[in-house]
Amino acid sequence: MSSAIPITDKKTFIRWFLRNHQLKKRECVWILNYLLSNDTVLENVHFVEEAHYCPRAMVMSTVDHQGVPFRFYKGNIMTSDAEKSFHDLRLNETEPMYIQINFACIPPHLHYLAVLEDNPYMPKSLQISEKDRIIAEQLLKDSMAAYQEKKILKEIDEVLDTGDKDRFFELSNLLLAIQHTSKK
């Protein structure tokens, strides 16, 4: 299974990542640099979340993330020995390799989003349905509106105390606009 993600995008992401993040295990840097130098292997690399569900996978973490420093999964075997995974990577260049990189980057960087693929081995019970996604988005929208309303009401109280009529009307109009938008 070759990737639909262009190799150039994967290389751009890996270079950006190596410039901006420090991995917990230096061997991970060697592996990522090897990927940059071998297009055959990189063609078969898929960046996913929850890689431990995949038949052949690596999980790497940066120093600013609480995740495990390194894990390699192949079939029912799991190891933290990065050298074994590197050896497997070189010997099986055309087999799919799924890589999960744990790093603190919220919101996710565009280079990462450009290479992130859906994990085809993720159990259906763990996947987020469209209905759940819509509910989560609505909850976030409602929470943001409530926060903004509370903040504006506090500011209105303050301008009433100071007698600033212009700012009062400005904030009142803003409050009405937020209330109108959140009811849609």
- DSSP per position, 55-108: SEEEEEEBTTS-S-SEEEEETTEEE--HHHHHHHHHHTTTS-EEEEEE---SSP
**Strand 97-102 versus strand 45-47 pairing type:** parallel
pLDDT of residue 122: 85
Measure Cα distances from 84 to 46, 58, 75, 94, 180 in Å: 19, 11, 14, 17, 59
pLDDT of residue 126: 59
Q: What is the pTM of this model?
A: 0.67
Q: Tokens 């940059």: give the residue.
A: 36
pLDDT higher than 60, residue 35: yes
**More confident site: 104 or 23:** 23
* Average pLDDT rounded to a whole number, residues 162-173: 89
pLDDT higher than 70, residue 152: yes
- Listed by start position, the domains of the chain span 7-119, 130-182
Quick one: which H or E segment has residue 157? helix 130-162
* Average pLDDT rounded to a whole number, residues 99-128: 84
Q: Which amino acid is at 15?
A: R
pLDDT of residue 3: 59
pLDDT of residue 12: 95
CATH second-level architecture of 7-119?
3-Layer(aba) Sandwich (3.40)
Residue 91 and residue 131 in contact, taking contact as beta carbons nearer than 8 Å: no
Measure Cα distances from 140 to 34, 104, 122, 144, 174 in Å: 41, 21, 25, 6, 20
pLDDT higher than 80, residue 183: no
